Structure 1
Amino acid sequence: MKFDMDYIAHHNALTETNPYLKLFITIFLLVLTLALDNLYFDIFIFIAMSIVILAIAKINIRSYLKFLSIPMVFVVLTCIFLIFFFGKGEVIYETGIFGIVVTTDSLHYGVYTFFRVIGCLPLLGFLALTTPIAKILHCLETLKVPKIVIEIALLMYNTIFIFLNEIDTMQKAQETRLGYSTYFGSFKSLGALASTIFLRSLDKSETLQHSLDSRGYTGELPIYEPRKKEN
């Protein structure tokens, strides 16, 4: 699944909006959402920020759904795990498998966690999809965030998209060879993809290190600084 978040961040209606303002709004609403601890407010934030992203920033709905789909898979799996394996209280459903049950406490815990997370996802999406990473890192540097944190964030951002691009390329290659035409073939292709991508990741990380060294990397990455507007 190809998803160019960097292109979207550079081409939307809020790209040129003050990045400090967007960063402040994101952090303030994140803290407020976590502090209020209210599921209704979580749902309200999800709807409100989704409207801002789609209607004001004018980001394509398919791109927004792709952004949500990646973390949403992990959220759903985590919440299912919480529902079946955590919590005490009255049993409301028995699976009949190794004594695994769903209790009132575990169901509440899973649903509660799900809504807390989806309340925060659009806030992160608002910042990530409307602000180029270079501007975000410049804001963090101005706010005196330790340089090591900024450099790790930059390298992680770069590596994640190299990783996703590799998966996209390999998946398309498998599809052209009918790797997903049958159930057995799909499992075999996914297994090959998982094992190969690990080796590709190691190779890409080594290539990245060589690229940094060849450009005079001394342990500190330069941070983008926007040009001051002339009066």
Structure 2
Amino acid sequence: MDYIAHNNELTETNPYFKLFLTLFPLILTLALDNLYFDIFIFIVMSIVILAIAKIDYRSYLKFLTIPMAFLVITCIFLILFFGKGDVIYETGIFGIVVTTDSWHYGIYTFFRVMGCLPSLGFLALTTPIAKIFHCLDTMKVPKIVIEIGLLMYNTIFIFLNEIDTMQKAQKTRMGYNSYMNSMKCLADLISSIFLRSLDKSETLQHSLDSRGYTGELPVYVPPKKEE
């Protein structure tokens, strides 16, 4: 994702404009709660990402895959266990039913989140993270929020690399070759990542201290263009 953000047709576009183009439809989508508007925003922002920014559709679909998986699970849970009203479907499992209210709740939640995803994706896929943090800094967002975001962003990529390395090591030792073996490998992976996270956090703190860390991380400032 970081590579895509640095290599697209809108990389050099004003980041403040892109931030506005993200927040404006995002706020409208959340405020209006209109099914047709959600679909409209999803289509328009997807066209901007694919046709104007010229981001590969496979990368865009991959970006949507993980949040979509969580969204579908959440909406199914809402439809089955929340809401009142007339029963429109009986599952026959422990008395679980789908009501008019729960169906409406689940569907509208699905499309509301679907309308928000391309807006966030537009900013994430077209703007390098350093420029986003610089914009937030100039907009007087609290320093602690920016620093937490910076550390989280850095840590995510570190642990993704760790997970990839550990999975490859497990597979070379005949891991994941059966269901029970996969469960055991997954448990070992989770426990190892937890221990690695403690070790990495301590290493990070030592690195910051050795570089004169005083409680505030520096934020990237883009160089001024020469006239």
TM-score by length of 1: 0.91
Which of residues 35, 39, 61 is equivalent to 2:35? 39
Structure 1 gaps of 5+ residues are none
- Partner-residue secondary structure (3-state), 1:93: strand
Which of residues 27, 49, 60 is equivalent to 2:23? 27
Moved more, 150-159 or 122-131: 150-159
Q: Which amino acid aligns with 2:113?
A: V
Superposition map of 1:93-104 within 5 A: 93-104=89-100
State the match for 1:195 in structure 2: 191
Q: Which amino acid aligns with 1:67?
A: F
**Any conservation in 1 of the 2:9–2:53 contact (CA below 8 Å)?**
yes
Structure 1 residue 153 and structure 2 residue 167: aligned? no
Q: Which amino acid aligns with 1:213?
A: D
Structure 1 residue 130 and structure 2 residue 129: aligned? no
Q: Which amino acid aligns with 2:115?
A: G
> Considering only aligned residues, what root-mean-square deviation do their CA atoms show, in Å?
1.6
State the match for 1:107 in structure 2: 103
Distance (whole Å) between structure 1 residues aligned to residue 106 and residue 78 of structure 2 = 5
Structure 2 gaps of 5+ residues are none
State the match for 1:14 in structure 2: 10
- Partner-residue secondary structure (3-state), 2:88: strand
- Partner-residue secondary structure (3-state), 2:89: strand
Show CA shifts across 1:113-153 (max 9, x none): 11111110110010011101111111111111111111111
Moved more, 92-101 or 140-149: 92-101
**Any conservation in 1 of the 2:33–2:108 contact (CA below 8 Å)?**
no
Structure 1 residue 167 and structure 2 residue 167: aligned? no
TM-score by length of 2: 0.93
Distance (whole Å) between structure 2 residues aligned to residue 131 and residue 91 of structure 1 = 47
Distance (whole Å) between structure 2 residues aligned to residue 57 and residue 99 of structure 1 = 49
Q: How many residue pairs get matched? A: 227
**Any conservation in 1 of the 2:79–2:103 contact (CA below 8 Å)?**
yes
Show CA shifts across 1:24-56 (max 9, x none): 111111111112211111111112111211121
Structure 1 residue 217 and structure 2 residue 210: aligned? no
Distance (whole Å) between structure 1 residues aligned to residue 210 and residue 140 of structure 2 = 29
